[in-house]
Structure 1
Amino acid sequence: MKRSDRRHLKENALGTVLVSLENRFRGHGRALIFCGLVVLVGFVVIVKYLDLQNEKEFAGTQMLAEAMITATAPIVLPPDTSSADGSGALSAPASFQPGSYTSGVRRAKVALQQFIETADAHPANRVGLVARYYAATTASSLGQREEAIQHYQMVIESEGNGIYGEMAQLGMAEAQMHSGNYAEATEIFEASSKQVEWDIPVDGVLFELGKTYLLSGQSDQAQATFTRIIAEFPESLFQTDAQAELDKLGSSENE
C-alpha cells in the first residue's frame, strides 16, 4: 500500500470518529449539559459546606479563646476602705484594669458559663470537647462536683481513649473523691493506674489512689500504695509527699 493511501485511510478514520462524537453530542447534548450543571452545582455546594465548616470552627475557636482569656484574667482586689492611720480617710482606689476580676470565684463563674456556651454550640468538634473539659475542671474548682462529674462524663463519652478522655476520667475520680463517693473514685483510680499506655504518669494516679484510701479509712491499702510509689518510682515528683504520708501513718500506729 502506498504512503498516500495509508494517509488517506487515517484521515478517513479520524473523520469517522469526529463525526461519531458530533452525532453523539447532538443526540445527548442536553443530557451532557445537565450532567455538567449537576457536577458544577455539587462542587459549589461542597465548597460552601467546607467554607461554612471552617467558619464554624473559627467561631468556636474564638469562643474558646475568649473563655480561656477570662479563666486567666488578672485578679484586682477592691481597695481597702479602712485607713491605715485610723483617721477614717479612704485609701486611693486601685486603678481599673479592663478584663480583670475582683475575686477568683467571680472570674471562674464567668469562665464556666463561657466554656459551657462554647461546648453547647460546638458539640461535634474538637473545640467543643476541649471547652467541655475545661467546664468540668472549672466547675470542680468552684466546688460544684455534681456538675463537674456530668461534664467529665460527656467528655469520656466523646473521647474515652484520647488525652482529654483520660484526663476526664481522673478528673471525675477526683470529683467523686471530694464528694465522698470513695468507692467510685477508688474504682476509677485503680483502673487508671493499670493503663500503662496512657500519657498520664502512673505515680500521680497512685498518689491520688492512696489519698482516696486514706479518706475512706483503708489505711493498709493506703500504706501499700504509697510504699509502691517509693519503691517503683524513685524519680517521682510524689516521692516526698508519699514518704510524708507514710510517716503520718507510722506515727498514728505508734500512738
Structure 2
Amino acid sequence: MRKTERHQMKRDELVTAIEKGSFYVEHHARRIGMLAVGLVVLAAGVFAVRVWWTAREEKASFLLGQIILTYRAPVTTSLDALQPSTSGSRTFSTGEEKDRETVKLADEILTRYGSSGFAPKALYYKGLALSELKNTGEAGQALQDLLAKYPGDFLAPLARYQLARLKESQGNPSEALIQYQALAEDAQGFFPKEEGLMGVARCQEALGLKSEALKTYRKVVSDFPDSDYQFEAKEKVEELS
C-alpha cells in the first residue's frame, strides 16, 4: 500500500469519527445539554460552598481574636481607661465581667462554628475563664472536651496542664497525678517535662507516697540541670531524704 493511500485512509477514519460524533450530538442534544447544565450548576455549587466556608472561617477567626483580646484585657476602675481605645481593645471594671465576656464569646464559636479549627481554642479559653470564675466543674469539662475531641491540637498540652492544676487545687491529687504523668511522659509534646514531673512529685507527696516523690524530685535534679525548678527540687530532696 502506498504512503498516499495510507494517509487517505487515516483521513477517512478521522472524517468517519467526526461524523459519528456529530450524529451522536444531534441525536442526544437534550441529554448533552442537561449534562452541561448539570456541570455548570455543580461548579457554581462548589464555588458557593467555598465562598460560604471561607466567610465562615473568617467570622470564626475574628471571634477567636476577640476572645484572646478579651481574656488578656486589663481590669481597671478608671473611667478614662474604660473608654474604648482606638486599637479596638477593651478594658473591664472587674475580672468577673471580663471572664464572663470571654465565656460568652467562646460559646458563640462553639455553637456557630463548632466544626471549625477554632473550636479547641475556644474550649481552652472558656476553661481558663471559667476557672477564674471559680466554676470548676464547667471549667474542667471544657478542658476535658478539648483533650477528648482534639488530642492533637497544639493547645492540648496546655489544656492538660490547666486541668491538672484545677484538680490539684480542688484537693484531688489522684486525678491531677494522671494529667501530670501524661505531660511528663509525652515524648512528642513541647510542654516542659520537668514541670510535669514537679506536678507528679507534689501529687505523690499529697497522696503520702514519700519515696516515690523523692525519686521524682531527684529525677528533676539529675535530668534537668538547667531547669528553673532545680532549686525547688533540691530543697524537696533534702526535705524528704
TM-score (norm 2): 0.86
Q: CA deviation at 1:8?
A: 5.0
Question: Which amino acid counterpart does residue 97 of structure 1 have in structure 2?
Answer: Q
Q: CA deviation at 1:214?
A: 3.3
Cα distance in structure 1, aligned partners of 2:234 and 2:199: 14
Cα distance in structure 2, aligned partners of 1:5 and 1:229: 90
Q: CA deviation at 1:45?
A: 0.9
Q: CA deviation at 1:155?
A: 0.6
Confirm or deny that 1:146 pairs with 2:145.
no
Q: CA deviation at 1:146?
A: 1.2
Cα distance in structure 2, aligned partners of 1:2 and 1:196: 76
Cα distance in structure 2, aligned partners of 1:35 and 1:41: 10
Aligned pair partner of 1:163 in 137, 154, 165: 154
Q: CA deviation at 1:200?
A: 1.2
- After superposition, the CA RMSD in angstroms is 2.4
| Deviation readout 1:24-69 (Å, 9 max, x if unpaired) | 1111111111111111111111111111111111110111111111
Are residues 241 and 109 of structure 1, via their aligned partners in 2, closer, same or farther at CA, if it must alter by over 3 Å?
Answer: farther
Report matched runs for 1:55-66 at 5 Å: 55-66=55-66
Unmatched 5+ stretches in structure 1? 79-92
Question: Which amino acid counterpart does residue 240 of structure 1 have in structure 2?
Answer: F
Q: Which residue of 1 aligns with 2:83?
A: 97
Of residues 6-15 and 198-207 in structure 1, the stretch that sits farther from structure 2 once superposed is: 6-15
Q: Which residue of 1 aligns with 2:196?
A: 205
Task: Give the percent of matched residue pairs that are identical in Structure 1 and Structure 2.
Answer: 18
Number of residue pairs the alignment of both structures matches = 236
Unmatched 5+ stretches in structure 2? 85-89
- Tell me, yes or no, if the aligned pair for 1:76 and 1:100 is still in contact at 8 Å: yes
Q: CA deviation at 1:95?
A: 5.2
Q: Which residue of 1 aligns with 2:68?
A: 68
- Tell me, yes or no, if the aligned pair for 2:70 and 2:101 is still in contact at 8 Å: yes
- Tell me, yes or no, if the aligned pair for 2:177 and 2:203 is still in contact at 8 Å: yes
Question: Which amino acid counterpart does residue 122 of structure 1 have in structure 2?
Answer: Y
Cα distance in structure 1, aligned partners of 2:2 and 2:151: 78
Of residues 164-173 and 16-25 in structure 1, the stretch that sits farther from structure 2 once superposed is: 164-173
Question: Which amino acid counterpart does residue 131 of structure 2 have in structure 1?
Answer: S
Report matched runs for 1:101-140 at 5 Å: 101-140=92-131
Question: Which amino acid counterpart does residue 52 of structure 2 have in structure 1?
Answer: L
Aligned pair partner of 2:182 in 169, 187, 191: 191
Are residues 2 and 33 of structure 1, via their aligned partners in 2, closer, same or farther at CA, if it must alter by over 3 Å?
Answer: same
Question: Which amino acid counterpart does residue 214 of structure 2 have in structure 1?
Answer: Q
SS of structure 2 residue aligned to 1:183: helix
- Tell me, yes or no, if the aligned pair for 1:158 and 1:165 is still in contact at 8 Å: no
- Tell me, yes or no, if the aligned pair for 1:118 and 1:131 is still in contact at 8 Å: yes
